[in-house]
Structures are given as C-alpha cells and as structure tokens.
C-alpha cells in the first residue's frame, strides 16, 4: 500500500488543521451574514462525553437563508467505526482525532441553490488524512451559475496541482449520488477523501463512477502534508467567491407557489441523500456525535409526493434530465442549446 510511504505530519498538525477549519467557519459566517443583511448566527458550544467538542452556528429566518448551519468540531475517540477502518486498516486499535467544519445552506428562494461544504482532518495512530469538498444543489438551475461555481473551485484546485480538479470533480459526482434515484444530488463541485499523500481515490456511491480510473491515468499525484493542507485551505477560501455571486444574481427574481412546492419536493431528495448515503452523517450518528449538529444539514421544511414526475418540456424536467446527471459543464457545447429554451443559461 502506498500509505506506508506517508511522511509524518508536522508536529503542530492538529493545531494547524483546527485553526484552518475554525477560521473557515468564522470567515464563512461573516460573509453569509453580510449577504443576508437580516439574519444573524446563533452560536452554541458543546462538549462530547467521549472527548472534544464543537461550536455550532445556525441562522434562521434570514432574508436570503431560510436556514444556514455552519459547524465546527474537534473530537477524539478510542476506536474509529468499522466503516472507516475498512478504508484505513492501519487505524485499527488506535485512538483517533478529527477536526472539521461542515456547512449546509438552505436559501428561501428556489432560484438560489442549496450548497454544502465540509473540510476535515483525521489522525489515528500511524495514519492521517484530509477530506472535504463543496457541492451545489439548484432547484431552478442556471448554466452560468453552475459554471461559475465549478470554475471557482477549479481555480482553487489548480493553484495546488492542475491535475487535481480532473479527479475531484468526477469524484464529487460519484459521491453525491442517490443510487435509489439514479440521480446526483445536484450539479456537484469537488470532493476528496482519505487524502494522505498517496493520491489514492476511493469509489463513491455510483458504481459507474470514473474518478479512480481518471486518477490512474493521470499517474503520480503524491502530495505531502503541506500541499494537502494548502489544498483544503484554498478550496475552503474559494467557497464565498464561488457562491455569493449566485445569490447576488438571483435574489431579486420573483417566484410563486409552484416554484416553492417544487423546491420543497426536491429538498426531500436532500434528506434522502444525507440520511441514506452520506458517510459524514453516518459517521456522526455511529460515533455518538451531537445529533442536533449533525442533522442541522436537513432542510427546515421538505415534502414528499408519491409518483411525482415533472412534465415533459418543463423547467422542472430540465433539472432532473440535465442537472442531476454528471456533466462536463465547461466543454459540453450542447448544454447551452438544451438550457436556452428554458431561459436557464444566464
């Protein structure tokens, strides 16, 4: 295994990773309050009986955000759950340390996408790794918004290594995949996990995912601790510039009950992904995490409707046909003509 070649992390690795995600939480919350202009974050600090704790922040009934949750946590435990030990057998029998920030924003307007971000760092005995990413889930999608989000994250990845985005983009499509619906959660973004320097890619939920093959073809992607740290930092700092311009562009678009009902219906899919497939959620619930903080990702209101199908030729059908399937957002020249009839380009 490549992971036996991993260099040791720097001596102050835990503190540096913790400061990174803590600062990220601060900056993101400031940026969100500024754009919302009404809502303010309420903060709750908590301790975990087995060790560690966190700082949960929630904004409710804001101008832009119906609910925004931004968590920070730093936790320790005796033994990682089997789901992680399977992927990192070297961690077995060792105490573990993890710190991270995670965020899900549920805007009120169906024209502003839901968005998720998470960056985390683990140490367990001889092994350490970074994981994280960000992904966008529109209800009434726009090609330009999708491209802006992807482009901003790509630039952050490129600043570390121009091969990375080629892997992390398809890995995101592969991970944020609802197998029981044969849909991606949304238009994706970037995702990486177990990054320990070996450059190894793990399969996501979608059995047809291509991330590992692509990584194989790209060849040597080894990075040291500092490079992966810088990657997490660059991607984390790219979040506000990737998302705020979408808010500014969409916030004054009017919508009616039809759009609201469709948004609530699609939020049901968000619940399904998080509770059925999301490793972070399952990890939290398995390790006796703080339930209220873990489930802060769930929407304030969601709807299910048996047998719902969007009408052919509708804006809603465009979402399921095009924007919940993996796409090459930059290079596919058919996307514009497919979006054009729905005024969904720009």
Q: How far is the CB of 80 from a second copy (least distance, A)?
A: 18
What is the rounded distance in angstroms from the CA atom of residue 284 to the CA atom of residue 215?
Answer: 29
* Distance between CA atoms of residues 75 and 85, nearest Å: 17
**Which of 295, 317, 320, 345 touches a second copy by CB under 8 A?**
295
Phi, psi of 300 (to 5 degrees): -65, -25
* Residues of span 61-80 touching a second copy by CB under 8 A: 67, 69
Q: Reply yes or no on whether 94 is catalytic.
A: no
Per-residue contact track with a second copy, 168 to 207, x per CB under 8 A?
Answer: -----------xxx--------------------------
- The least distance separating a second copy from the CB of residue 55, rounded to whole angstroms, comes to 14
**Burial class of residue 74 (count of CB atoms within 10 Å of its CB; 0-12, 13-18, 19+):** buried
State which of residues 217, 307, 311, 331 lies at the interface with a second copy (CB under 8 A).
307
Closest separation in Å from C-beta 307 to a second copy: 6
Question: Residue 173 or 183: which CB sits closer to a second copy?
Answer: 183
Could you tell me if 176 and 192 are in contact, meaning their C-beta atoms sit under 8 angstroms apart? no
C-beta of 277 vs 329, nearer to a second copy: 277
Q: C-beta of 264: minimal distance to a second copy in Å?
A: 8
304 near a second copy, judged by CB under 8 A: yes
**Cα dihedral 319, 322, 326, 327 in deg (nearest 10):** -130
Q: How far is the CB of 231 from a second copy (least distance, A)?
A: 30
Q: Note whether 46 and 56 are within 8 A (CB).
A: yes
Rule CB under 8 A: say whether 303 interacts with a second copy.
yes
Q: Does residue 310 bind a second copy (CB under 8 A)?
A: no
Residue 296 touches a second copy, criterion: CB under 8 A: yes
Q: How far is the CB of 283 from a second copy (least distance, A)?
A: 12
Q: Quick one: 226 or 292, whose CB is closer to a second copy?
A: 292
E-state strands within 78-207: 96-107, 114-124, 127-137, 177-178, 183-184, 188-195
Residue with smaller CB distance to a second copy, 174 or 196: 174
Residues 270-289 as x/- pattern, contact with a second copy by CB under 8 A: -xx--xx--------x----
Among 128, 125, 135, which Cα is nearest to 173's? 135
Long-range contacts of 181-184, Cβ-Cβ distance < 8 Å, separation of 24 or more? 181/269, 181/272, 183/269, 183/320, 183/324, 183/325, 184/324, 184/325, 184/326
The answer to whether residue 259 forms part of the interface with a second copy (CB under 8 A) is: no
Cα 269 from Cα 276, distance rounded (Å): 10
Q: Tell me the torsion sign for CA atoms 67, 236, 4, 213.
A: positive
d(CA 289, CA 280): 11
Which string of x and - marks every residue 18-57 that binds a second copy (by CB under 8 A)?
--------------------------x-----------x-
Q: d(Cα 156, Cα 177) in Å, to the nearest integer?
A: 23
Count residues near a second copy (CB under 8 A).
31
Are 236 and 102 contacting, i.e. CB atoms less than 8 angstroms apart? no
Residue 144: CB atoms within 10 Å: 16
Residues that bind a second copy (CB under 8 A): 44, 56, 58, 60, 67, 69, 179-181, 264, 268, 271-272, 275-276, 285, 291-292, 294-296, 298-307
Residues belonging to the active site: 116
């Amino acid at each position: 295994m490549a992971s036996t070649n991993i260099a040791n992390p720097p001596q102050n690795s835990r503190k540096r990773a913790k400061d990174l995600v803590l600062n990220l939480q601060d900056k993101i919350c400031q940026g969100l309050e500024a754009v919302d202009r009404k809502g303010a974050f309420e903060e709750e600090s908590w301790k975990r009986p087995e060790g560690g704790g966190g700082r949960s922040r929630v904004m409710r009934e804001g101008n832009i955000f119906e609910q925004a949750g931004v968590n920070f946590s730093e936790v320790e435990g005796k033994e990682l759950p089997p789901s992680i030990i399977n992927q990192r057998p070297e961690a077995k029998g060792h105490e573990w340390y993890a710190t991270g920030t995670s965020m899900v924003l549920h805007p009120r307007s169906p024209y502003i996408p839901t968005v998720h971000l998470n960056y985390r760092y683990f140490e367990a005995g001889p092994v350490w790794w970074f994981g994280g990413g960000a992904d966008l889930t529109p209800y009434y999608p726009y090609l330009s918004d999708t491209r802006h989000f992807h482009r901003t994250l790509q630039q952050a990845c490129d600043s570390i290594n121009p091969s990375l985005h080629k892997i992390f983009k398809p890995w995101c499509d592969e991970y944020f995949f609802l197998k029981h619906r044969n849909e991606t959660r949304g238009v994706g973004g970037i995702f990486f996990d177990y990054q320990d320097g070996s450059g190894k890619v793990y399969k996501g939920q979608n059995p047809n995912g291509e991330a590992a093959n692509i990584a194989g073809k790209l060849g040597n992607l080894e990075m040291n601790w500092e490079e992966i740290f810088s990657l997490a930092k660059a991607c984390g700092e790219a979040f506000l510039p990737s998302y705020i311009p979408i808010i500014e562009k969409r916030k004054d678009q009017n919508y009616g009950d039809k759009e609201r009902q469709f948004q609530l219906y699609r939020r049901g899919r968000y619940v399904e992904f998080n509770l059925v497939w999301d490793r972070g959620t399952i990890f939290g619930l398995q390790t006796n995490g703080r339930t209220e903080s873990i489930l802060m990702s769930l929407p304030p209101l969601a709807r299910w409707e048996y047998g719902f199908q969007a009408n052919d030729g509708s804006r809603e059908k465009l979402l399921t046909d095009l924007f919940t399937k993996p796409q090459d957002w930059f290079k596919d020249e058919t996307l514009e003509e497919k979006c054009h009839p729905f005024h969904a380009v720009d």
